[in-house]
Each structure stands twice: as structure tokens, then as C-alpha cells.
Amino acid sequence: MINYDKAIEYINIAAQRGSHPGLERILQLLKLMGNPQEEVRCIHVAGTNGKGSVSVMLASVLSAAGYTTGMFTSPYIYRINESFRINGVNISDDEFAEVISFVSSFAEQMRDKPTEFEVMTAAAFEYFKRKHCDAAVIECGMGGKYDATNVITNPLLSIITNVAADHLSWLGNSVEEIACHKAGIIKARRPVIFGGTDFKAEKVIAEKAADMHSPFIEVHYNLLENVRNTSDGIVLSYGRFKNVKLSLFGAYQPRNAALVLASVELLREMLLEISDDAVYNGIKNALWQGRFETISLEPTVIYDGAHNPDGIKYAVESIRQRFGDKRVNVLIGVMADKDYETMVKLLCPVACRVYTVMPRNPRALDSFELADVFVRNERNATAYEKLSEGLCTAYKDSVDNNRPLIALGSLYMYREVKDCLCKLKGKNKIGI
């Protein structure tokens, strides 16, 4: 068996194979492994935004209800172990090494070797099977139809959080095309719940559900009421669930919570035992980094993983809810395959000064090119080759002018931003 360092090395080698949507490789790999995905009851989560927040809240509720609950998400923030969690606890180094060693022994038998995400997906199913999980919440990586996670044949429930423009080069240029990809996770006679509000997307997904003879459920956001922000999160009511407390921030989280609560009602109809206490405690205890998260005070520094126009729209709404008409400093780095022109236009009305950087990712957009887009939209923007330099300058300006600093554009920057912030504040560990 390989050790942890060798397991990471193997994942890095698989990453060099790039991203190739399609199910041929993952199906072959899983078959060689004995199809572990068939031995775990799964809830499959797709959507443009909100997948992670919905997944962590739902997994937390199921854990609070007494179920041994796995969760597979991406990307990770600090360590790859975050990708596999059971009852909120990351996989250990030894277990990670063991399961990757097992998966790699079969992957290396294949002529067309699997990608990094395919290896990780197969490892997640194997790990959850070994740990005898009662249920596992599985987050799609991209799209749905051709995503490596779309090998679940009999899910407890399929969830599509919403549909908006993202991954245009892979998923299509229209809402209908993107919705078609998301709808690919719907399985015959298994229920699907849709949390979006786009009529065109809803039509595509509803028609796919009808074709598959699958119950189609919408989230009734008119039941979402009494939403209020507090110092430690959000309080809301949805239907018969009154004064539900979230520890998560952001204008988008009440809708995510409503989707989770609607999903819980559906799971109860499937005779899963989920008490009201489990619902309230599970949602309150759900934590998810990088989602309009305050990572420092004096000055206020907030990190939000918004990385596409729909996410930026809600980030802007969150900024206005928190700071009113006060403009903020923005530290931003984005991927080149995103609709960053639209993202810039959405951010300009709330931005005072903009500091552009490059996330550490091969798909990252050049920071100088991004700054030029802001300048063309009549917003003061400066590009930096090193994220640390951009953050240092932005932080100093925020201190000098008592101006909030919002870092966003990609979760790939989260760790570096927090590490640099620790150094700026002279601390070994960040504290707000």
C-alpha cells in the first residue's frame, strides 16, 4: 500500500490528464472495483451555485438525525482530505492513502486512465462503502449528465439547486442547454427537487423528469419569510419550520436553507426518521468556509467564493445588505473560462478600489487583463502578479480608510488569502 505522500503524488499525476467529461472511464474503473456506488444510498446534488452549502446543510441534518452520513464535495480549501467527510469529519491521512492505493491499483490497469476527479469520485464511493454509511451526499463537479458522479443509478433524491451561466465552453451557451446537462442526473422513478427560479430551466428539467417518470418537486419560496440577519448568522422561517438558525452568511443562504428544508420533507415521506430537533440542530451546526465568511475585523475582511455571474449577483446583494450604500475594496481573481466581463459589470457599482490577482490554477485569467476590464468600466483597478502583494496593498487601504475588503472570484484563493492575512495581522492563526 502507498503512503499518504505517494497518494497525493498519484492524485497530482492524474490531475495532469486534465478534465474530460464522460462516463466511460469512471464506469470502467468502478466496475473493476466491484461497483461500490451501488452499495451506498446517495443524494445527488447538481446546480450552478449553492451545491456546497446545500450539501453541507443536508449532510449535517442527516448526521444529527443519527445517520452515518458521507459527503463528497469539491474543490477543497486546505487539504484534499476535506473532499471526503463522514458526519462532518475529514478522512484521515492513513484512510486516504489506503483508499487511493486501492483505486489506483485498478486505474493503472486501464488503457485510458482516469482523470483526477474520476479517481477521487471512485475513492469517495469506496470509502463510504467501507465505512458503512447510511447515506452519502454527493456533489457534482461540473454539469451533471457527463459528470463523473453521475453513476448513481438509484439515488434517494436528486437535487438541482439552480441553473445559470457557467462553464460555457463545456455546458452550452443557453439556459436550456445548461439545464439539459443538469437534468442528466435525474434517474427513472426517483424524485428530483429543483431550487431554481428560471422558467426556461424549470421547463427543461420538468420535461426530463416526466420522461423518466420521476416525481418533480419545486421549492415554494413564498413560504420563506421572516428572514433576518444576526451577529452570528441568519434566522428564517419556511413553512412549518419557524425561526430556523443558520450559522452561514450571505444573501443566498436563506434560499439554500429553504431547498434543504423542502428536501427534508421529501426524505421524511420516504420514511427516513428525521426529527425536528435534527433539522434545527443540523442546519445551525452546518459550517462552510468561504461563503460570505468574515475572516477578519478592523478592518472587516470577507471572503466569498462567488465565481460566476450568478454568484457575483448574490455577493453584491450580500454586500449591500451588510454595508448599505458604502463602497468596498475588492480583491478578485477569476478563471479565464468564466464570463468575467459580466462579473465586472455587476461588481462595479459596489466597488471603490479593485485589486486583481491570479489564483493558483492553470485556468486562471491574467490579473492585468482582468484589471483592464474594470478600467474599461470606469473603475479604479490595479493588477498584481503576486496575490500577497495585492492583498497587502488592499488591506492597507482598507485600514487607512476604514473600508471593508471583499475577496472573491474563486475558492482557489481562499487558503492563500487567509495565510497572507495571518502574516499581515501578525498572528499564527487567523482570528477575527
Note the pLDDT of residue 428. Answer: 43
The answer to whether 163 and 201 have CB atoms below 8 angstroms apart is: yes
Note the pLDDT of residue 103. Answer: 98
C-alpha span between 91 and 124 (Å, rounded): 10
* CATH dotted code for 293-424: 3.90.190.20
Whole-prediction pTM: 0.92
Host H or E run for residue 295: strand 293-296
Note the pLDDT of residue 173. Answer: 72
Task: Give Cα separations from 13 to 23, 183, 302, 432 (angstroms).
Answer: 20, 31, 34, 37
Note the pLDDT of residue 167. Answer: 46
Residues in the chain: 432
Beta partners for residue 233, in sequence order: 230
* CATH dotted code for 4-285: 3.40.1190.10
Note the pLDDT of residue 172. Answer: 57
C-alpha span between 281 and 78 (Å, rounded): 26
Residue numbers in the chain where pLDDT is lower than 50: 167-169, 428-431
C-alpha span between 135 and 157 (Å, rounded): 11
C-alpha span between 398 and 181 (Å, rounded): 42
Note the pLDDT of residue 432. Answer: 52
pLDDT tens-digit readout, 133-147: 999 999 999 889 999
Note the pLDDT of residue 174. Answer: 86
Helix axes 276-285, 253-269, angle to 10 degrees: 150
Note the pLDDT of residue 430. Answer: 46
Q: b/e map of 45-84 (b: 16 or more CB within 10 Å)?
A: bbbbbbbbbbbbbbbbbbbbbebebbbbbbbbbeebbbbb
Domain positions in the chain: 4-285, 293-424
